[in-house]
A = this chain, B = another copy of it.
Amino acid sequence: MIMQKWTRSGDFLRFCCKSLTYLRSKENNSVYSSVSGFVHGYESKSKLFEPNDGNHNIELQHRCSGRNLGMQQQYRCFGSSSASKIQRNPLFSSLDAKDISYFKEILGEKNVIEDEERLETANTDWMHKYKGSSKLMLLPKNTEEVSQILQYCDSRRLAVVPQGGNTGLVGGSVPVFDEVIVNVGLMNKVLAFDEVSGVLVCEAGCILENLATFLKPKGFIMPLDLGAKGSCHIGGNVSTNAGGLRLIRYGSLHGTVLGLEAVTANGNVLDMLGTLRKDNTGYDLKHLFIGSEGSLGIVTKVSILTQPKLSSVNLAFLACKDYLCCQKLLVEAKRNLGEILSAFEFLDNNSMDLVLNNLVGVRNPVSSSENFYILIETTGSDETYGREKLEAFLLKAFEKGLVSDGVIAQDINQASSFWHIREGITEALQKAGAFYKYDLSLPVEEIYNIVNDLRGRLGDLANVMGYGHLGDGNLHLNISVKDYNDELLGLIEPYIYEWTSKHRGSISAEHGLGVMKANEIFYSKSPETVALMVSIKKLLDPKGILNPYKVLPRSLISDDH
């Protein structure tokens, strides 16, 4: 609709695309937060976990049939073939009264949680896909307490699951059996902020959004932004090497995290909490803890490079007729928007329809239905320049035929509604019924081939949707189905993993392996590197107590542990 005018008149912009200073976290953070919290169901989390929340609970029982069988316990989790049939490691001890007494002694009564309702929440992931049966959650207040807990658990060989906001997508942050949950939520203090360097030092339990709020009046932003920001902890972000929406601009946490403090399995505190951009003194060990999903240690403090908040943010919602256009548009955007490009997201028409059909009050910003939709966000320090640059870029893209329709958000509400479409896909998926969820990295030119191939393979059995962080080569591949069904799952897995492996992609771009994909690591990593990972795991956690059954193939770990 709007784009049609672009060919006719140079002054279309005055007419239809009013400027937007889309101050995502400056002016109207609350709008954005509510969107993102909502998307991943965080706002309604307590409701989701209500014992009487009928439908959800039926599904929960249907999906997760983990039963407490003591040492012979068997774990079963619907929705992922690979997490099935895990045996509890018989070498792990079981909790006894003396253990509880000890923990109460060091942490105080109120931070040793045995309450069933709170444990129910802590045992279950937010998707209701994974469920453990832990009888104990510990809430340490500082590093020393984490150290004492781990030292004790290591000596008793009690298994431990480190937990932050419990917003993971691969069952990494909930127990598989009866592991002791160590939740760092009480360790939520900002320890230092340097306005010259922009370096923030804080405890691991700080909620990402709270850090953003802390930085806002100082004129800085966090280098990462996620849909889950209202619940996720910075320690969990680091432990899972969270990606998110700003990676295209500010890079991964391996680049922006400057230092860490972590406690290893035996209670040893590793002070790697540097605040320097450059430090070449020995091996940079903090990287071992970034993305190892709590299996090598519990991150207790984080030092991170924040970014100056730039005042001019613009957002365009575009329609493209085919995937090649999306791909070409990305190359052009990288080159021509260069230093101001801050997000490049895509969704296909199936994803759009899913959102339109399942979320209330959402409408397609462009008038006509197309095969693909793109969100381009720019962030810069000059409002006029940023807007004009984006407009000129879009006009050229339209003239070249890369874009068939599109609109630039005119105010914060419009921008928010654009983002709501992209971020609302997960929620819409949940509302639509059963689903399988994959998170793949692939060469950009291959990204949509797997969607098409899978669509052909599953036919009418499922609705296959592709969306994600195109700028980073990250596809979120979702499959909406009528019911969970092992036969159908057999058509999906290992097909998706094999396809990804063949194209040298990653079977987990940003979600991690957790319990869902621990055994699938060889699709993305060579045997030699996995063997070295196992050696490092055994070096740092010889008794295997930290986040067991996850990240690494269970057969390689359980032999000796």
Contacts and interface: CB of A to CB of B under 8 A. Distances in A.
A285 interface: yes
A473 B247 contact: no
A213 B472 CA distance: 25
B280 A331 contact: no
Contacts of A536: 283, 285, 536, 539
Given A285-B532, A291-B280, A380 B338 contact: yes
A287 interface: yes
A276 B509 contact: yes
A430 to B, nearest CB: 23
A509 B284 CA distance: 12
Question: What is the interface residue range for chain A against chain B?
Answer: 35 or more
Contacts of A280: 240-241, 243, 291, 506, 508-513
Interface string A173-196: 000000000000000000000111
A476 B114 CA distance: 56
Contacts of A327: 196
A352 interface: no
Given A335-B219, A339-B380, A533 B282 contact: yes
Nearest to A392: B382
B509 A331 contact: no
A24 interface: no
A442 to B, nearest CB: 8
Interface in A538-561: 539-540, 551-552
B276 A505 contact: yes
A513 to B, nearest CB: 6
Contacts of A340: 339
A336 interface: yes
Return the 3 tightest CB-CB contacts between A and B, nearest first.
Answer: A255-B255, A287-B287, A338-B381
12 contacts: A197-B444, A240-B280, A243-B278, A251-B251, A277-B441, A278-B469, A279-B441, A279-B506, A280-B511, A287-B287, A382-B389, A536-B539
Given A196-B444, A277-B473, A535-B539, 8 more contacts: A240-B280, A252-B278, A276-B505, A278-B510, A282-B292, A287-B288, A338-B380, A338-B381
